[in-house]
Structure 1
């Protein structure tokens, strides 16, 4: 009988413990975050480097990340309109932020920036980029640049040097074509906005960042001669076959892999592709390299077109804004920078002012660390340009992606492309949807 009582008592204690655990779980405040596409190993990196440590350090909070894939942007827009979006709002860049801020969908972050020290911890230019109507609404998850990845092993074998001028670049690309090598490793099968990477490159490296700045601030139209020259040159490269025969059927990763195999000579793309370097170059016994994209006559070399690939905001309807701010604050820590960049290069270059306290694993490619230092130095020295997805308003940016394809396919002329671009930009600006443009 006593044993039965003992079992009953044990069962009762177990029930109490389960109820307490359930109640404890229910007491935790949820923090939701919708994320884009990520490879399985990088989903695991986010779980072990961010979610688990955050939840352990904040026992009253429960952070969860929901991977939404390529449809994130569409799903987010619909959810934000109905007030049912996540707490941490993750956008594809500042061009999306102005419209959301204008619609009252985002919470101003100025108080958090002051309270949590973001104003002192982050590069000032990124605080300016995230503002709308004088208030801070977004901070970058990562800042990036465009340049030229190449296969140093292939270059050494052929006696090639990385080009610094457009003339040198075109001579090199023609030499690659003559050898049956595709000059550009490029593809947009999984991400059509890859089109604008190349538009951004020519606007900055051919028209020049000073002219881009003047156009962004309304001082000159997008139909001005420097932009005609830039788009004409890009179209010339397309017609010459620099992009290869499979641009529309290759994903970005498949295209980048061709640099490592030697099927393609160069990849004019962004620093986010550092995440693919360890995946492909060692397996092909090839040494990777990265330099600034060549510049036209009269444009300094190198120009690093400044990009913000994605931003963090907090939903105005969030039931837990303090929790969301705590997550963003952890992302802007020295420890997180070191841990995440050790595991996942190219996607988490958060805009910290000082990287001297950051420690990364010995396995991290020195080329990556040096490139990030070069980029930070270029930003500080003012030798940077402007990526379209960061500095153009949303409708204008969307047109760049579709319009340049029409130029390549002979459906419209450069003049028609730039006329529509200019008209769309003026309309966006009049509607108050243009991102903030920091003074040069």
Structure 2
């Protein structure tokens, strides 16, 4: 399939994940093929060297589109782009940011008018790869670092970072942020009330009862737009209970994966918990509304990743201290220890295949993984990057330190779930099924049946690219 060939089914699948309202015929007619004038004039080239491995010219233009989510975009405008500008003073950098990254980038990928570098959150990875819309970034991995011409970029990235961005042997995405997932709470509130951080499900449910008696909501989520945060907590617990094969089978769309004992037992536990301790209001709240309730002292536990503290920085009062705990063990006979956590390299960045200045796009990423780029990101956002030792000497925020401590305590027992990253239809179904489990009459068995049916449909759909691990 050439870069310009995007099938009608792929287009409809992309459109299903956003509010893009155009006819498929119109969009396909607008697709630019290599060499079309719509792609613009090729960027000027400079001489290649260890200091300039991609031959970026000190002239021309670069466009960057940044997702403005929990980390904002100041890290781009105040850290990464100034580093690139210092190296190439005459390069003109056009910056834009948006919280609606799918609605912004999807039509541009389909039409062929793409930026030179961008974040890729929420975009359908399978569709992008099938339409050959992303550049293979392997040359970035083999390029010398900004800091040491004798050290390759691949050698300064944390374990798992390259794997997380690789599909079919090609490195398509720089997964930049080390993200740790768990249940978040106010450390000061717990200390004040004498509440112990629970390690087991039994202790967690007992504490939920105490919290409810104190007039707080024990557990909440943003059901309107981020129910998958709760979905991942459930899957994390199922993986800890039954072992990593449980999650691997789910990711691989294996028949019967959703009906494993560990999955059914976990779903049943959450169903019972929700009936007692999850208020119906959370089905209709945005994630930011639920998070606001937490920092206002109205909600105890909230499932999220380590971006949460940064995202709520402006609304967090001085008496609130973010902390994270692993999802509690379901039973004392769980396959993984209680300290096991879900963590992964996240916040994907890439260079579109039709970028007008792809060399500058890759140089942008190379500057990001420099010591100055990585430490500057942490200073701006409080979050850790995948660049080894990049936060040495920095004072971490309480939430980031808590996440880093949890990751260290987990040791080798760190894992991830990739189902929703790989398959947009599975993500949509999982979100809907989670809401039905927590807020409606859906049973654990019905949840499993629903997910099995969707997995079989995705598996049988030849238009959807398949992944495995």
**How would you bin the TM-score normalised by the shorter chain?**
0.7 to 0.9
Matched, 1:78 2:107: yes
Matched, 1:225 2:270: no
Q: Report 1:155-304 matches (<5 A).
A: 155-189=190-224, 191=226, 193-217=228-252, 221-242=257-278, 244-276=279-311, 278-281=313-316, 283-297=317-331, 298-299=333-334, 300-304=337-341
Q: Report 1:86-105 matches (<5 A).
A: 86-92=115-121, 96-105=124-133
Shift of 1:110: 1.5
In the alignment, the residues of structure 2 paired with residue 203 and residue 266 of structure 1 have an alpha-carbon distance, to the nearest angstrom, of 19
Question: 3-state DSSP class of the match of 1:247?
Answer: helix
In the alignment, the residues of structure 2 paired with residue 87 and residue 272 of structure 1 have an alpha-carbon distance, to the nearest angstrom, of 25
Question: 3-state DSSP class of the match of 1:311?
Answer: strand
Which blocks of at least 5 consecutive residues in structure 1 are unaligned?
1-25
Question: 3-state DSSP class of the match of 1:350?
Answer: coil
8 Å contact kept, 2:280–2:439: no
Show CA shifts across 1:177-225 (max 9, x none).
1222111243244545445344444333444434212433456522222
8 Å contact kept, 2:420–2:426: no
Matched, 1:30 2:61: yes
Which is greater in Rg?
1
- Using the size of structure 1 for normalisation, the TM-score is 0.80
Question: 3-state DSSP class of the match of 1:246?
Answer: helix
Query: Given the superposition, is the C-alpha separation of residues 406 and 334 from structure 1 closer, same or farther in structure 2, using an over 3 Å criterion?
Result: same
Query: Given the superposition, is the C-alpha separation of residues 64 and 435 from structure 1 closer, same or farther in structure 2, using an over 3 Å criterion?
Result: farther
In the alignment, the residues of structure 2 paired with residue 377 and residue 178 of structure 1 have an alpha-carbon distance, to the nearest angstrom, of 32
Which residue, 388, 408, 417 being the options, matches 1:387?
A: 417
Query: Given the superposition, is the C-alpha separation of residues 188 and 410 from structure 1 closer, same or farther in structure 2, using an over 3 Å criterion?
Result: closer
In the alignment, the residues of structure 1 paired with residue 234 and residue 268 of structure 2 have an alpha-carbon distance, to the nearest angstrom, of 11
Shift of 1:388: 5.0
In the alignment, the residues of structure 2 paired with residue 433 and residue 195 of structure 1 have an alpha-carbon distance, to the nearest angstrom, of 26
Shift of 1:29: 2.5
Residue aligning to 2:358: 321
Please, which moves more after superposition, 102-111 or 167-176?
A: 102-111
Show CA shifts across 1:57-85 (max 9, x none).
22242333322223x11332232122222
Shift of 1:249: 4.2
8 Å contact kept, 2:176–2:348: yes
Shift of 1:273: 0.7
8 Å contact kept, 2:268–2:443: no
In the alignment, the residues of structure 1 paired with residue 445 and residue 412 of structure 2 have an alpha-carbon distance, to the nearest angstrom, of 30
8 Å contact kept, 1:86–1:318: yes
Residue aligning to 2:15: none
Query: Given the superposition, is the C-alpha separation of residues 65 and 206 from structure 1 closer, same or farther in structure 2, using an over 3 Å criterion?
Result: farther
8 Å contact kept, 1:309–1:390: no
8 Å contact kept, 1:200–1:388: no
In the alignment, the residues of structure 1 paired with residue 162 and residue 452 of structure 2 have an alpha-carbon distance, to the nearest angstrom, of 27
Shift of 1:421: 2.0
Which blocks of at least 5 consecutive residues in structure 2 are unaligned?
1-56, 145-151
Shift of 1:392: 4.6
Question: 3-state DSSP class of the match of 1:77?
Answer: helix
Residue aligning to 1:66: 96
Which residue, 379, 389, 407 being the options, matches 1:342?
A: 379
8 Å contact kept, 2:283–2:439: no
Show CA shifts across 1:20-56 (max 9, x none).
xxxxxx98322222222348x9434431222233223
Please, which moves more after superposition, 117-126 or 390-399?
A: 390-399
CA RMSD of aligned residues (A): 3.0
Query: Given the superposition, is the C-alpha separation of residues 172 and 406 from structure 1 closer, same or farther in structure 2, using an over 3 Å criterion?
Result: same
Query: Given the superposition, is the C-alpha separation of residues 38 and 64 from structure 1 closer, same or farther in structure 2, using an over 3 Å criterion?
Result: farther
In the alignment, the residues of structure 2 paired with residue 389 and residue 90 of structure 1 have an alpha-carbon distance, to the nearest angstrom, of 20
Shift of 1:171: 0.6
8 Å contact kept, 1:388–1:397: no
Shift of 1:108: 1.2
Structure whose residues are more often helix by fraction: 1
Residue aligning to 2:8: none
Question: 3-state DSSP class of the match of 1:148?
Answer: strand
Query: Given the superposition, is the C-alpha separation of residues 376 and 436 from structure 1 closer, same or farther in structure 2, using an over 3 Å criterion?
Result: farther
In the alignment, the residues of structure 2 paired with residue 214 and residue 170 of structure 1 have an alpha-carbon distance, to the nearest angstrom, of 29
Show CA shifts across 1:94-124 (max 9, x none).
x832331122111111122112423212124
Which residue, 403, 410, 420 being the options, matches 1:371?
A: 403
- Using the size of structure 2 for normalisation, the TM-score is 0.76
User: What is the number of residues matched between the two proteins?
Assistant: 400
